[in-house]
């Protein structure tokens, strides 16, 4: 299950673990114009853990989910439209 909310400066997606127990803490993804942050509360440390991905890293992650093992470099799209 997930929710999507549009804030003033970001889009917030919350992933809620509704699978089999033991359940994981919610994952909150903030989409900003220049980066994406992924946050999850850690009950072990009692802190919110956060990672920040550039938009290029997010693009690479999305591509990597559908590729076999290997080393890849994605080409930047040609901005001239050709």
Q: Does any domain span residue 60?
A: yes
Into how many domains does the chain fold? 1
The model carries a pTM of 0.81
Q: Along the 82 residues of the chain, how does pLDDT read in single tens digits?
A: 999 999 999 999 999 999 898 899 999 999 999 999 999 999 999 999 999 999 999 999 999 988 899 999 888 766 665 5
* Predicted pLDDT of residue 77: 67
Answer yes or no: is 38 within a domain. Answer: yes
Look at residue 75 in the predicted model and tell me its pLDDT: 80
Give the separation between CA 32 and CA 54, rounded to whole angstroms.
10
Residue 70 region, left (φ>0) first, then alpha (ψ -120 to 50), else beta? left
Sign of CA dihedral 47, 53, 62, 66: negative
Q: pLDDT at position 74, please?
A: 84
Could you give the CA distance from residue 79 to residue 11 in angstroms, rounded to a whole number?
A: 26
Residue ranges making up the domain that contains 33: 2-64
Is 78 a domain residue?
no
Residue 6: inside a domain: yes
């Amino acid at each position: 299950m997930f929710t999507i909310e549009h804030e003033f400066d970001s889009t917030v997606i919350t992933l809620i673990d509704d699978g089999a127990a033991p359940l994981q803490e919610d994952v909150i993804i903030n989409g900003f114009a220049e980066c994406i942050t992924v946050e999850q509360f850690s009950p072990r440390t009692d802190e919110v853990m956060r990672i920040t991905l550039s938009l290029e890293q997010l693009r690479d992650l999305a591509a990597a989910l559908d590729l076999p093992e290997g080393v890849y470099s994605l080409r930047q799209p040609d901005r001239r439209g050709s």
